A and B are shown apart, each in its own frame.
Chain A
């Protein structure tokens, strides 16, 4: 049977099939890790990327695959299978998919090994990349976390599809004919997620950053243990436990020819530490000010806290620098990503009020700082009786109608030498001036002072600029817009309609003439 195949070709073919099997396992397991995979293209061949595809090798997975193969290759009756299953936190498990790499007897003697077979295997791997994102288990695996995890198991031998339940579907990824048989790659996947609906898993998004690193020993007939599709990202651990893929015996084809085959260049397969990052790179945004009136505490400045409205100490996350801490569910910063380092001297900056404990801790890495974004003026410190509007987005929101009645209490920065200011102002100068004292800000209040615009004089105009401004900011409502009058006039309009129509009909000729002038 092998007389048609040269020994070199035979050796090459065996090597291709072996590495194809290993790469197939890598693609499948990586697709079920729950993260997006990204590898870079490289225009110059490194000699270490089998099938000209950048597929990283996770050492643990390669180790498992080699263990399962035990030096054999897929052949007739001996298939390599990767089983993907789901295990809940309660311990229930369910097989989701079985990926099979099989070989049948149909040979293609004419095909060129070093060229056509290699390229077709490369194409098949690309198809596998596409198909692994398309089966139902992919979406489940992207949502794995604390409720359930995805496990994989590699075995060699007979395909066992019984665990997939009734009515499972099969998708064929592709086939490649070789002189020794036809390689077929397919996937059988479960449809009937009976005792667990997919919705159950989509309910709660998993907490990012939790790495489940447990190994489960299952009493399977072929006694190969299940492995989680998550793994510790530290490369040191992996390198220590498993031998790297580097193997001086293995080379991958890097050279092709358009003319009769020439010498293959040899190179070492090198292992690149998998750098699968955990989660996204979002920084934990600071908990923000939930603007609005705090009617319960009219004298308090609304200091942001986790519950909003009550000055609180947000708990410091143990690893504040880690990007994947639990997301703060509060609203987004009003002015964008607006946070400052928790340095004690921030009280000089009147725009931010940092929480007392954070000021004390002074950790430069503290991201989850509470921020208050509002310029209230440098010297406001007087308690007031009136509820203040704390809507930060509207400039001069302080001057909205509610506060108009208390002309004496207009919240505007007064020039320091105004006779109407009282000692609290000086007092506030005091507290603001002291650096490092942000504790006093927990009861920041507004002082209402008279609106005294610069350069305006009382005696020239009967009203000053301030009064003018206030009055014209609140014009009286249009009569047509007020509800009572509107309702009445509507009724009147309807009644007068017939009369108006009669009048218009009389003037029809005038209208017609007008229309003609327009044309």
Chain B
């Protein structure tokens, strides 16, 4: 089984980085989250309800929908915040990419640690531009808003191809497929990492920060 890889590119102004990233990541996770599973006897399970909410962006003319889960939002904001800081600190002409990887865990025998097998990776390449005046900023607001609309349409198109998704797990296997640590929703196991490149295109700081959401971390 090959890992599916999708790449999206956006050009944003510095203060739009966070909102643009959150919009894209939340849209992806909206599609990759279910309600909490409640297993019953005989191998049946029921699924909780996922709520949604609209989020207006302050620096972009755009509204996106995210799952109503404060924990998930916090986790994403933390990752995006770190990415933004790294981008900002890297220098004027910031380029970087943030990756959202969905994976499955495969238990290995001791002393080997569990394997993480990705099945879908979304990469968002960000190019940070600096603008000279307020008029340009206003145009940028609208343009980035339109671009994000296109990105959402792209994401939805990929999601609706109904390609490989992990099989629904039994109770004992659920933690290998889903992140069961959140109290109100259950996204597929995911991790977020990012890379910053300088203007020459070389990887100056390969900052791989793994945000591992699974309960076990051997």
List A residues at the B interface (Cβ < 8 Å). 36-46, 49, 52-54, 115, 120, 123-124, 126-127, 129-131, 133-135, 138-139, 142, 171-176, 254-259, 262, 265
Contacts and interface: CB of A to CB of B under 8 A. Distances in A.
Contacts of A139: 61
A45 B46 contact: yes
A171 B153 contact: yes
A39 B153 contact: no
A99 B157 CA distance: 17
Contact of B48 (A41, A142, A257): A41
Given A130-B152, A255-B45, A256-B46, A41 B68 contact: yes
Q: Is the interface of A mostly helix, strand, loop or mixed?
A: mixed
Nearest to B165: A119
Interface of B: 27, 30-31, 34-36, 38, 40, 42-54, 56, 61, 63-65, 67-69, 149, 152-153, 155-157, 159-160, 162, 168-170, 183-185
A52 B30 CA distance: 13
Given A54-B49, A256-B45, A43 B36 contact: yes
Contacts of A174: 156, 159-160
Contacts of B170: 258
A258 B169 contact: yes
Contacts of A37: 52-54
B40 A255 contact: yes
B145 to A, nearest CB: 8
A38 B54 contact: yes
Contacts of A133: 54, 63-65, 152
A130 B65 contact: yes
Q: Is the interface of B mostly helix, strand, loop or mixed?
A: mixed
Given A41-B67, A126-B31, A52 B160 contact: no
Most buried by B among A37, A42, A115, A255: A42
B31 A123 contact: yes
Most buried by A among B31, B50, B61, B159: B50
Contact of A52 (B48, B53, B63, B69): B48
B152 A134 contact: yes
Nearest to A260: B43
A120 B159 CA distance: 10
A81 B64 CA distance: 24
5 closest pairs, A vs B, by CB?
A: A174-B160, A259-B43, A39-B51, A38-B53, A54-B51
A41 B185 contact: yes
B200 to A, nearest CB: 33
A45 B160 contact: no
B206 to A, nearest CB: 32
30 contacts: A36-B54, A36-B56, A38-B51, A38-B53, A38-B54, A39-B52, A41-B48, A41-B49, A41-B67, A41-B69, A43-B35, A43-B36, A43-B48, A43-B185, A44-B38, A45-B38, A49-B49, A52-B34, A52-B48, A52-B49, A123-B160, A126-B31, A126-B52, A127-B159, A130-B30, A133-B152, A142-B63, A172-B160, A258-B170, A262-B42
B61 to A, nearest CB: 7
A118 B52 CA distance: 19
B9 to A, nearest CB: 18
A172 B160 CA distance: 10
Contacts of A46: 49
Contact of A138 (B27, B51, B63, B160): B63
Most buried by A among B30, B49, B156, B185: B49
Nearest to B156: A127
A38 B53 CA distance: 4
Most buried by A among B35, B53, B156: B156
Contacts of A254: 46-47
A484 to B, nearest CB: 36
A139 B142 CA distance: 11
A328 to B, nearest CB: 23
Contacts of A265: 46
Contacts of A45: 35, 38, 46-49
A493 B58 CA distance: 52
Given A53-B50, A131-B152, A172 B157 contact: yes
B51 to A, nearest CB: 4
Nearest to A37: B54
A505 B56 CA distance: 65
A267 to B, nearest CB: 10
Nearest to A175: B160
A506 B184 CA distance: 81
B37 to A, nearest CB: 9
Given A43-B185, A54-B49, A262-B44, 18 more contacts: A37-B54, A38-B51, A38-B68, A41-B69, A43-B35, A43-B36, A45-B47, A45-B48, A45-B49, A52-B34, A129-B52, A129-B65, A130-B65, A142-B63, A172-B160, A257-B42, A257-B44, A258-B168
Contacts of A257: 42-45
A42 B45 contact: no
B168 A130 contact: no
A256 B48 CA distance: 11
Nearest to A142: B63
